[in-house]
Amino acid sequence: MKNVLNGSKVLVTGGTGMIGRYLVDKLLDKGCEVTVVSLDSPDGLP
């Protein structure tokens, strides 16, 4: 299956939360350029 996300620019709000961290990690694995917006500190982000 073709990876349609590869190279996509993605904005994730709440990217430091439990679900957001998982989502950011998976998007990076798919080759996305990820930007995170969050009120919390970026501890633990890749």
Domain ranges of the chain: 1-39
Split at pLDDT 50, 70, 90, the class of 8 is very high
- pLDDT of 46 higher than 80: no
Q: Residue 35 has what pLDDT?
A: 95
Q: Could you tell me if 35 and 11 are in contact, meaning their C-beta atoms sit under 8 angstroms apart?
A: yes
Contacts of 40 (CB under 8 A, 6+ apart): 16, 17
Q: Residue 40 has what pLDDT?
A: 74
Q: Residue 3 has what pLDDT?
A: 80
Q: Could you tell me if 5 and 14 are in contact, meaning their C-beta atoms sit under 8 angstroms apart?
A: no
CA dihedral 32, 24, 11, 31 (to 10 degrees): 0
Tens digit of each residue's pLDDT (9 = 90 or more) over 11-42: 999 988 899 999 999 999 999 999 999 887 76
